Structures are given as C-alpha cells and as structure tokens.
Amino acid sequence: MGKTLLKISVVYFMIGISFGLFMSFTHVFNMATVHDHLNLVGWVSLALAGIFYHLYPSLEKSRLAKAHFWLHNIGLPVMMISIAAAIMGGPPILFMLATAGGAMTVLGVLCFGMNVLTGLDRK
C-alpha cells in the first residue's frame, strides 16, 4: 500500500502543479483553493502516508489503513471536482457534495492518525 500511495501522490502532484501553471497562464486564480488542496492533501499528505506505510509495513495490514486508503482516495477527488465545478458556476448543491467529500477525506486522515498512534508499537 505504501508504494501505491506514493504513486497516487505523484499523480496529484502532477495535476496540482499543472493546474497552477494553467492558472498562471490564464491569470485566473479563483481556483487557488483547488490547486492548494491537490498539492497539500493529495501530494504531500499521501506521500507522507505512503512513506509511513513503507517504513512500517505492519501499519498497512490494519483495517484502519484500508479505511484510510479508500476514504482519502474517494473523498479527495469528490471534494476537488465538486469545488472546481461549483466555482465555475455549477449548482450550489456542489458545495454540499464537496463537504461530503471533505468529510470522507477527514475520516480517512483520522483513520491514518489512529493507525499510526496505536500501531507503531505493535510488532
């Protein structure tokens, strides 16, 4: 799972940086929130989680790790796509969908945190 998260984080990095370059070319910066979250919650957070799982293989065997993986990797794209679509003039319900995606991501991160806090000392 660690290597998979590292690969996924690199995809978020490429998308986030490309998105930033697009905003720079067009001088349209109203989606800076999307750019920031792609880079921080996608690239940085998932890369760090991947490193944890790689360095401590026992962590990736838990149900918390699996919950983290799926909640984070479903919630983040739902949140980012919904925010971008709402900013571009989509219906206001998209913000509710973004909140749901954000809640999934937060739950995933909480699973990761609990896994690290309770699992690092396991053998």
> So what's the pLDDT on residue 10?
97
Determine the 3-state secondary structure of 29 from DSSP: coil
pLDDT in tens, 5-26: 999 999 999 999 999 999 999 9
Question: Which regions in the chain score pLDDT beneath 50?
Answer: none
Number of folded domains in the chain? 1
> So what's the pLDDT on residue 123?
58
> So what's the pLDDT on residue 52?
95
Domain ranges, residue 115: 2-119
Structure tokens at 83: 């925010």
What region does 28 belong to: left with phi over 0, alpha with psi -120 to 50, or beta?
Answer: beta
- The verdict on pTM exceeding 0.75 is yes
> So what's the pLDDT on residue 120?
87
